[in-house]
Structure 1
């Protein structure tokens, strides 16, 4: 009996303590709300919780008794609806203003949104004059219009979606290479070589009066890199698989929809290979793996582009993902172009460089899916491309990947590892002294190898259906334009 009575007293006492703890915890939560990102809040997982969200007002709808806001913090295309008493309205609470809202997350009666935030407190962190703000509430602005405001365009749905997609695609590319045994190399931005040999270089020189007499800061002329390839080739003498992903620069005086003065390149180099197929496999697998991840993780953001920027493009993307990429030779490509009834602005004779109009036609001819073109004329390719030594045609073991809507996405080749042939090519070009270090790579433990580069912005154009490359990079740089 004594034990039973003691147990009853203990349980009662313990229950009272638990109730006390529970009340204290609720009081603590009310005083210290959980801070959530919008992407976390809209899932509905925290229904009933006292929370704080921070972001920018996407819409304001005052009514007699209530105030409705939509708040977004860039973590999701979805905004969180905030419902508040009209007493919390404030003249500074406008479209574009930055706010901090505290309240209770509740299930929403609206089927289109799982939750809404019943606000207890709204603090305007940063005001915004909606009259002067270049983006207007409930108005869908064109990409061309918002491009005029590089310092503000990230506030729009289209730009914020693009930046989330760009971030996810970057992570997916790194994941692909890591999972397939590639070592990431940070290749230099400042270099003394012209990898492409096209002469489209930005020279690097120090500024300021104290450097006026300095002929060369580095003792040799230096430039912003046009490619990390040659530095990757250095590393491919010690690692079987390497890659780099970073900014590259071309001083092309172009206003086209496919070119930028500063853009990002994904470049890879594979050692111990004598087959173009080894390179095309990496290109295709990387394209598929990256696109699969982007489509899975950024579904709403991608849909925004496919619905409002490039209607119908999703069918093209799905087709690309389902079909294997065909392979044709350059000679076959020229035959296809010459048999076409289409009139081209540029010639299609054997030995000519393929232009954008040719590339886009070849993609459509092959079923509007990415297509590999191999074995280009030897004279069209840089000194490092491997000589096929194939008689009168004289081609190089080079390959381009052409994709819908863009044309060339990737360019690569097997590298000339034969010292005698490479030396002759460099001497004929007058580059033997400049690239004596490159010849050393062939003298000391050289192996057959090859690699490629992919324009990251062109990849985004391809999967999103964006016509102008300036709309898939946060801060576009091109001739006569370097805003910010």
Structure 2
């Protein structure tokens, strides 16, 4: 076999580099605004965000989505261009210059403008210049929503947050795994799953075996859209010590609240050889703080824009997340606090009901706005895989992380290690047969594991002044709504 280096050396290369003095360079709006390029001949492409006519010059702003800022284009001799309007797409060639009124700002003196796609606002374009729109309104136009400044900022922040998650996990030695979207498991055991089956009746008939139900024809078993990648992460963590999933998950809940989606993204780390819930809490706190801190640096301009756009100046809740240690209380201690303050709550606290959103947010507020870990939960409130507390089989080593603005952000636990206990719980849920493999994990070379899941969209809601979770995901799905 030939060495790669020799193969590489045998490939002929042709050089296409040439002088910038003869050709215009294509640059993004972000590059135009953030790099001093006075005197350089450039080409920019984007969408017109505003048009102004002054004396003999036409001024218009161009954005290509690469930056919260817009590049001002100056076109002398306005009679040379017709049809330019808000929303149209353009290609502009010209010379970069410094704005004579503000020498810190760049502008483009155009000598050529091509209108790539005209936009007639009067014929149904849903947005107008210099006008603010509510989330409810823009949600009606999911295909156009990325053209708004607010949603473009959100998408850039979402991208930066995704990168921050992967960078942090990689720095801690975690391996990313792609858990399946189609699965035979209902990880939470709550029945909030979407069934998966072929749409073609002809295909179902063709594949149907004698005595097999229709909804099992394709896979020979029932199949669902995943509610969590955790069980698959547990498999891999027994061969690779530290893993995480980051992908779409689905819940068939009949809820249209500001905090619920039918499809959302989850980050789910799973760590082997973990025998202490405190280790999970420590990692969870460090993880959340690191991502927030990173985003304030890498996406600070967009975050500031969103707060300014919502007329909100206070980011005190982010300081509380970064600057103070998270509080830890048991489930019983949390309810003692709620009971003593029940006169301040709309819903009286009852231990058997768990924590509702109002109570979660009250606990955070009661702690001065600092996040709160609630640990050691009643077993009947939590999924089958959580480990019983030593000395109290009615409780499990579980944790919910409560944060400002959204309440529960993360849920995690130590996983039950005893195969007989797992088998008994699955038997009660009528899941012993389909999850026999999960029992086997405990029977052959088992190790203790633990982990948590964090809703990515809820994290963004916590970080940003965006009230509705449907406005932090590109194409939201919720009951009675699956547009596009």
Superposed pair shares fold, TM > 0.5: yes
2:312 & 2:397 partners in 1: Cα distance?
A: 38
How many pairs were matched up? Answer: 457
Instruction: Please show how residues 358-369 of structure 1 align to structure 2 within 5 Å.
Output: 358-369=359-370
Using the TM superposition, give the Cα deviation of residue 90 of structure 1 relative to its aligned residue in structure 2, in angstroms: 2.8
Contact preservation (8 Å) 2:342, 2:348: no
Gaps of 5+ in 1: 1-24
2:103 & 2:470 partners in 1: Cα distance?
A: 34
Q: 1:294 to 1:166 in 2, by over 3 A?
A: same
Work out which of the residue numbers 122, 140, 157 in structure 2 matches 1:165. 157
Q: Deviations over 1:435-478 (max 9, x none)?
A: 11111100111111111100000000001031110010011100
1:178 & 1:368 partners in 2: Cα distance?
A: 30
- The more displaced of 39-48 and 433-442 is 39-48
Using the TM superposition, give the Cα deviation of residue 245 of structure 1 relative to its aligned residue in structure 2, in angstroms: 0.2
Using the TM superposition, give the Cα deviation of residue 279 of structure 1 relative to its aligned residue in structure 2, in angstroms: 0.9
**Equivalent residue of 2:454, what SS?**
strand
Using the TM superposition, give the Cα deviation of residue 297 of structure 1 relative to its aligned residue in structure 2, in angstroms: 1.2
Contact preservation (8 Å) 2:233, 2:244: yes
Matched, 1:143 2:144: no
What do you get for the CA RMSD once the two structures are aligned? 1.6
**Equivalent residue of 1:281, what SS?**
helix
Contact preservation (8 Å) 1:310, 1:465: no
2:101 & 2:475 partners in 1: Cα distance?
A: 38
Matched, 1:291 2:283: no
Using the TM superposition, give the Cα deviation of residue 130 of structure 1 relative to its aligned residue in structure 2, in angstroms: 2.1
Contact preservation (8 Å) 2:189, 2:429: no
Name the counterpart of 1:51: 42
Matched, 1:197 2:198: no
Contact preservation (8 Å) 2:324, 2:370: yes
1:310 & 1:277 partners in 2: Cα distance?
A: 39
**Equivalent residue of 2:353, what SS?**
coil
2:20 & 2:432 partners in 1: Cα distance?
A: 72
2:417 & 2:79 partners in 1: Cα distance?
A: 73
Name the counterpart of 2:57: 66
1:31 & 1:342 partners in 2: Cα distance?
A: 75
Q: Deviations over 1:248-307 (max 9, x none)?
A: 000111111110000000001011011111111221111111111111111121012222
Using the TM superposition, give the Cα deviation of residue 347 of structure 1 relative to its aligned residue in structure 2, in angstroms: 4.5
Using the TM superposition, give the Cα deviation of residue 50 of structure 1 relative to its aligned residue in structure 2, in angstroms: 0.4
Work out which of the residue numbers 163, 175, 200 in structure 2 matches 1:183. 175
Contact preservation (8 Å) 2:342, 2:349: no
Name the counterpart of 2:91: 100
Q: Deviations over 1:361-389 (max 9, x none)?
A: 11101111211100000111111000114
Q: Deviations over 1:178-230 (max 9, x none)?
A: 00000100000000010011101110011124224243211101000000000
Using the TM superposition, give the Cα deviation of residue 390 of structure 1 relative to its aligned residue in structure 2, in angstroms: 3.1
2:409 & 2:80 partners in 1: Cα distance?
A: 51
Contact preservation (8 Å) 1:188, 1:225: yes
Using the TM superposition, give the Cα deviation of residue 308 of structure 1 relative to its aligned residue in structure 2, in angstroms: 2.5
Q: 1:126 to 1:193 in 2, by over 3 A?
A: same
TM-score using structure 1 length: 0.91
Tell which structure's C-alpha radius of gyration is larger. 1
**Equivalent residue of 1:105, what SS?**
strand
Q: Deviations over 1:140-188 (max 9, x none)?
A: 2222221221110111110000000000000000001000000100000
Instruction: Please show how residues 259-338 of structure 1 align to structure 2 within 5 Å.
Output: 259-309=260-310, 311-338=312-339
1:300 & 1:334 partners in 2: Cα distance?
A: 40
Name the counterpart of 1:390: 391
Instruction: Please show how residues 358-437 of structure 1 align to structure 2 within 5 Å.
Output: 358-391=359-392, 394-437=394-437
Contact preservation (8 Å) 2:373, 2:400: yes
Name the counterpart of 1:127: 118
**Equivalent residue of 1:342, what SS?**
helix
Name the counterpart of 2:447: 447
Using the TM superposition, give the Cα deviation of residue 126 of structure 1 relative to its aligned residue in structure 2, in angstroms: 0.6
Q: 1:272 to 1:284 in 2, by over 3 A?
A: same
1:310 & 1:222 partners in 2: Cα distance?
A: 46
Name the counterpart of 1:234: 235
2:362 & 2:89 partners in 1: Cα distance?
A: 48
Matched, 1:225 2:216: no
Using the TM superposition, give the Cα deviation of residue 109 of structure 1 relative to its aligned residue in structure 2, in angstroms: 1.6
Work out which of the residue numbers 1, 6, 28 in structure 2 matches 1:37. 28
Work out which of the residue numbers 78, 89, 108 in structure 2 matches 1:87. 78
2:314 & 2:471 partners in 1: Cα distance?
A: 17
Contact preservation (8 Å) 1:88, 1:122: no
Using the TM superposition, give the Cα deviation of residue 317 of structure 1 relative to its aligned residue in structure 2, in angstroms: 1.2
